[in-house]
A and B are shown apart, each in its own frame.
Chain A
Amino acid sequence: MKDVSFGQFYPVNSFVHRLDPRLKIVFLIAYIVAIFLATNFYELAACALVLLLIVFFARIPIGKVLRAVRGVTFLVLFTTALNLLFYKGDTVYWEWGIFCVSFEGIIFSVFLALRLVLLVVCSSMLTYTTTPVSLTDGVESLLTPLKWIRIPVHALALVMSIALRMIPVLMDETSRIKNAQMARGADFESGNIIKRVKATIPILVPLLLSALRRADELGDAMDARCYTGGDHRTKYKKLRFTWRDLVAFLLGAALIAGVVLMRIYLPASY
């Protein structure tokens, strides 16, 4: 259980770690837009190159990055297979009923798989390099305009930070309960699918109970410290925009501009 690392902060001190979380969030959004704007392999390669640079500057080991991808292997394979079989291209290699494999289909499904992988790696880079607290601060700060139309931004940010904070806690809890049930002879690895689903009940029931208990305790603890919400609260760490952020911002802007320019000036082919 301990090696489920998707979305967990990875504590090293790097250029990317010290960036302003707001910038990282905006950059992530821009990056995702860029991935989806890209329609040929040149543009996707440009995106991948930028991501590689980010991974390099964030000093995250490659194994860790790949592990994030491993979590979505099934999704990637599934979408690739679907596209491969259903994409209606011109150069057909094989056809059977509604299924057909074509040259364009292969290209398209590979393209989509790459897109998904980039998407996952990029989003996990955000959570690897940003602590939950600063991520929440960033989201809250970015969503400030919504306050004017009476959306409780602070509460939303709080919900998000608690949810993120609880992931490792519940992971720990899961492995503890799993161990305890394994010591009582529970078997989670063998049997058919129905048997396996049934085998998770001894984990899920105690886990749910403990999550509810924790929520209750946390609520009490917040009450006991007179927590009432957003207004008039000051921040321990103020977000500041520094030269690093400027550099990163320019790079990000260059990427988007690059992809857009490529779209305009390069012939639209694979």
Chain B
Amino acid sequence: MRIVAEHLSYTYNPRSPFETAALKDVSLTIEEGEFFGIIGHTGSGKSTFVQHLNGLLRLPSSMKKYRPKKPKKGQTLPPKTVLTVGEFDLTDKKTDFRALRRSVGMVFQYPEYQLFAETVAEDVAFGLKNFSETKLSEEETAAAVRAALEVVGLDYEEMKDKSPFDLSGGQKRRVAIAGVIVTRPEVLVLDEPAAGLDPLGKREIMELLHKLHREWCRTVIIVSHDMDEISENCTRAAVFSEGTVRYVLPPRELFCHAQELTAMGLDVPLTAKLVSLLHERGIDIECDFTAADFCEKVLAYAAAHPKKERDEGGEA
């Protein structure tokens, strides 16, 4: 499903002292099959944007009132807001939001805090039961739950009767993700999927997301403020800052804007920092900013140049 947003704006608590414009005229297209990253500082509007994608935040229905058909003299019409996810037109009130939510899975920040059922199997089946039109048989449910738990790397037989509250943090998060993907959404959106995990847990979650992207969901969108996470994993990334989209680029091109990113309060990935340090010392390395590629290129450089020249750069 292709996601198209044009001139999307959103204001929290309009016309009150708490009024904050979270999105200002955002235009963004996400192609089907992408592993898309959304980066931004806290409060940059990235979470607000993704909550639109499955209709949890709706465009103000009174929007037409503020959009006169004909422009007054000397005024131009504000551009029309467009928001479509595949077949669904989200600016239309009559859109079937249940069907939309079924196709767009949403994993919130710290998803383990939404677990509630008595057993893991029941919790994972929650979404499945909600979305299915007909009543599913026990076997069908069990099969779907088993598949979802296994794809997130948990053992169905061992897990199904446990209480979700007895699991470890990483396991809980996996169960929560299983509870979202169990309906096989076409688009999977994850808000800070690796927040609060240790480095190993982070890597495991990212590997899981790649696996899901290959086998389970056509499009994966992750929201993060960690540049390394984005640069290592995404095909393209959008940088949000103060409610607007600054850049939409593949990660390797993105980090040519290192200074602007730093000014927005974002970090550049470690590899990009090393590349620029090496550049200062006269060693030019071109890489796509993933750790593996960086190491490879450095080693290749080291092999191609005699020892004397690489006294400073080699050990990286």
Contacts and interface: CB of A to CB of B under 8 A. Distances in A.
Tell me the dominant secondary structure on chain A's binding face. Answer: helix
A182 B101 contact: yes
Contacts of B106: 180, 183
Nearest to B105: A183
B120 to A, nearest CB: 14
A268 B116 CA distance: 59
Interface in B163-182: 165, 179-180
B51 interface: yes
14 contacts: A10-B17, A177-B113, A179-B108, A180-B108, A182-B101, A183-B54, A183-B108, A184-B180, A186-B126, A187-B130, A206-B114, A206-B115, A206-B116, A209-B113
A144 interface: no
A14 interface: no
Contacts of A177: 113-114
Interface string B108-135: 1001011111000000001100110000
A185 B127 contact: yes
Given A176-B108, A183-B54, A2 B114 contact: no
Contacts of A182: 56, 101
B262 to A, nearest CB: 31
Given A2-B13, A201-B116, A209-B113, A183 B56 contact: yes
Contacts of A180: 106, 108, 111, 114
Contacts of B111: 180
Interface string B13-42: 100010000000000000000000000000
B56 A206 contact: no
Nearest to A181: B114
A185 B98 contact: yes
Given A11-B17, A206-B114, A184 B108 contact: no
B126 A184 contact: yes
Contacts of A176: 108
B213 interface: no
Please indicate which of the listed interface residues A185, A187, A206, A210 has the most CB atoms of chain B within 10 Å of its own CB.
A185
Nearest to A175: B56
Contacts of A2: 12-13
Given A185-B183, A206-B116, 13 more contacts: A3-B13, A10-B17, A183-B56, A183-B108, A183-B180, A184-B130, A186-B126, A186-B130, A187-B98, A187-B130, A203-B116, A206-B114, A209-B165
B102 interface: yes
Please indicate which of the listed interface residues A179, A183, A201 has the most CB atoms of chain B within 10 Å of its own CB.
A183
Interface of A: 2-3, 10-12, 176-177, 179-187, 201-203, 205-206, 209-210
Interface in B182-204: 183
A164 B102 CA distance: 38
A185 B114 contact: no
A203 B115 CA distance: 9
A184 B130 CA distance: 7
Contacts of A203: 116
A3 B19 CA distance: 12
B113 A184 contact: no
A104 B28 CA distance: 66
Contact of B56 (A3, A179, A205, A210): A179
A68 to B, nearest CB: 14
A11 B117 CA distance: 40
A210 B113 CA distance: 7
A185 B98 CA distance: 7
Contacts of B117: 202
A185 B131 contact: yes
A186 B180 CA distance: 12
Nearest to B109: A176
Nearest to B13: A2
A202 B164 CA distance: 13
Contacts of B114: 177, 180-181, 202, 206
A128 B98 CA distance: 38
Contacts of B116: 201-203, 205-206
B190 to A, nearest CB: 11
A49 to B, nearest CB: 27
Contacts of A185: 98, 101-102, 126-127, 130-131, 183
A205 B123 CA distance: 12
Interface string B130-151: 1100000000000000000000
Nearest to B191: A180
A35 to B, nearest CB: 29
Contacts of A3: 13
Nearest to B112: A206
Contacts of B101: 182-183, 185
Contacts of B130: 184-187
A12 B17 CA distance: 8
B112 to A, nearest CB: 9
B47 to A, nearest CB: 10
B57 to A, nearest CB: 9
Please indicate which of the listed interface residues A180, A181, A187 has the most CB atoms of chain B within 10 Å of its own CB.
A180
Contacts of B54: 183
A184 B106 CA distance: 8
